[in-house]
A and B are shown apart, each in its own frame.
Chain A
Amino acid sequence: MTDFQVPIWGYWLMGIGLAAFIVMLGMYIRKNRGFKRPLFASPYVLWLVIFTVIPCLLVAYFSFTDPAGNFTLDNFKNFWDSNFNARKAMDQEELNMYLSMGLTLEDLGLARNSINIDTLVFSLWMAFLCTAICLLLGYPAAHIMADRNFKLGPTLVILFIVPMWMNFLLRTIAMMSLLEDNGLINNVLEMVGIGRQKLLNNTAAVQLGMVYNFLPFMVFPIYNVLNKMDYKLSEAAMDLGCDHWHTFYKVTLPLSVPGVVSGITMVFMPAVTTFYISRLLGGGKISLFGDLIEAKFLSTSLQEWNVGSALSLIMMVLILLSLGLLRRVDPEGEGGGMV
């Protein structure tokens, strides 16, 4: 971005910081000898305050104020009616002039519009589908990888991790050129004789991108639970007369519930707030709730920031509620996905 240069002492500092961290971690692992937990928490607490607590408070503040800083609930009314602000922004005399000409709000394009709610419902549906597909694909994958008799398991784990070393945007842009009308997949389809298909810029492409990006978040929590599970339990079930299906149904599946719950959380949360993937693979034609919020913040009109904050807050509350629900299912956080 800028002519930003890290000075030599910056490298030293980072090196020392890293070394100190490793040393401290080593000591912590050796049964807390010397240091206690709160000490380790202190830098993290600072981080948390600066980058999580303060931004959340700011979002809340913006949601309940207008650009001048006065308290208002109008931003939330915009969620219900996306034309609320537009109607309010309109000069009342001018509006009355139009209305006296016999035009209705409908004719002027200012009638109540449910775009925000519709988009939220659509996003929830897309996220639900994404989670379901990830579960259907991810559970068997995790089960196979955790199978002690399957020699290629560890290799598969690596194969799942490797793509995550690349930035997700890069992966999504690569996906874009694969699915393009003149892209690799279409060229192959043409060669095979199926003919070119419209693969990009539709809902299916967006869904594909979401599943592709979020699948590992479903696989690993389940894999972790299954991997740690005592396989003697399955053996015992078999000894006692269960067939493979019953062993799975009565033993493995119930024991893996924490992993499943954690996987669902970790996929559903990013899926429901997705943006950019939908822009890249939907060709700007498909808007998710995340895109809607992004558009509000990219606007030059300051008022939109407040509306965007209100929409974010609604989203955050929804996520918190679903997290709370999941906590009831997996109170111990065994799946490892709970933060």
Chain B
Amino acid sequence: MKKLVSLVSVLVLCFSMLPLNNAFADQEVVNVYNWYDYMDEDVFALFEEETGIHVNKMYFTTNEDMMVQLRVSPGAYDLVFPSDYCVERMIAEGLIAEINFDNVPNLVNVNPDLINPDYDPENKYSVPFMWGTVGILYNTKKVEEEVNSWSILWDEKYADDIIMLDSIRDTLGVTLKYLGYSMNSRNLVELKAATDKLIEQKPLVKAYYVDETKDKMAAGDAALAVVYSGDALYAMELNEDLDYAVPKEGSNVWIDPMVIPATAKNKENAEKLINFLCRPDIAQKNCEYIWYSSPNAAAIELMGEDYTENTTINPDPSVLERCEFFHDIPDNYLTIYNSFWSQVKNAK
């Protein structure tokens, strides 16, 4: 009796740990791994309606989390939305598969300037989903001068009114740009100079945020912030005093691509979904929901002046010329970057 009960209780415990998802066992599915709130959910409903393929939605909050998940649970995801610089690493590690572009005829709608990007030079592995820049979001009530240089972030007038990005690559990157170097620098003297510059700036910084920045800026809690253009657009919708500028020293241009993991179990369904997302009306729907720059030329045509006249979402080609893509940096330099960044974060 004693043994029986203990056996049963152990079994109960074991069963309660099993994943219990059998609901869609015999239905066609596609497992999508995306950032939170980075897709108009109606789009998935439309996709399900048109194709009968059920979309399982899973979310991540940082590229690092996503990479870890991809490594430890192969086969769990069919379509992933990493940041551009991760794609390089994913290709190198063999984590993602070549896309069969016969299944993605809608690629013709994508702006040719954004195809064959640095991270995927032959465009075998990725299709752009959204893109944007990094720049300064500022409150015109607090900043009366023109914002055209990163140097304003070191201006003591704005002490305790500056929000920086809590992100190694972005923050070191814009500082390197400010000093006239490449965002992808692997020169120790340059990196040390950028680190010192950031330590010097720390007393002026109100906070290092990522997701919180847009809401803080919309609430008028700070004068200046380094942001992604997408977050800038979100905040500007909420607060009309805000404006956005890409400094003259240049900045980062980024693309969020769609990729298919090498271990995907439903590769064709993932390709169908990519094709669907490149359809002009769907791309328009997503763009209007997320309000980031769209790589889809046909969708931009559909959106008209609302889109084209907005210089934040549709920057002048000259802005792009002075911007740079992030490259993946090799592991040993990542260690050095991490070490420098922790010097900034732990500086007193």
Contacts and interface: CB of A to CB of B under 8 A. Distances in A.
A99 to B, nearest CB: 11
A39 B2 contact: yes
A105 to B, nearest CB: 10
Given A3-B21, A43-B10, A301 B67 contact: no
A20 B8 CA distance: 10
B332 A82 contact: no
B248 interface: no
Contacts of A3: 21, 23-24, 56-58
**Among all A-B residue pairs, the 8 with the closest Cβ atoms:** A283-B207, A284-B208, A109-B192, A89-B332, A86-B339, A89-B335, A301-B334, A108-B188
A68 interface: no
Interface stretch (A11-19, A162-170, A244-252, A269-277): A11-19
A303 B342 contact: no
Interface stretch (B12-20, B177-185, B253-261): B12-20
A36 interface: yes
B2 A36 contact: yes
Interface in A1-24: 1-7, 10, 13-14, 16-17, 20, 24
Contact of B343 (A47, A90, A115): A115
Contacts of B312: none
Nearest to A85: B335
Interface in A24-43: 24, 35-36, 39, 42-43
B208 A292 contact: no
A253 interface: no
A113 interface: yes
A202 B279 CA distance: 49
Contact of B342 (A20, A82, A91, A302): A82
A302 B331 contact: yes
Contacts of B20: 4-7, 10
A89 B331 contact: yes
Given A5-B23, A108-B192, A109-B191, A301 B331 contact: yes
Contact of B338 (A1, A35, A198, A304): A304
B5 interface: yes
A301 B338 contact: yes
B101 interface: no
Contact of A90 (B63, B189, B332, B338): B332
Interface in B264-305: none
Given A16-B12, A109-B188, A300-B64, A180 B221 contact: yes
B63 A82 contact: no
A212 B251 CA distance: 42
A108 B191 CA distance: 8
B346 A119 contact: yes
Contact of A285 (B56, B205, B219): B205
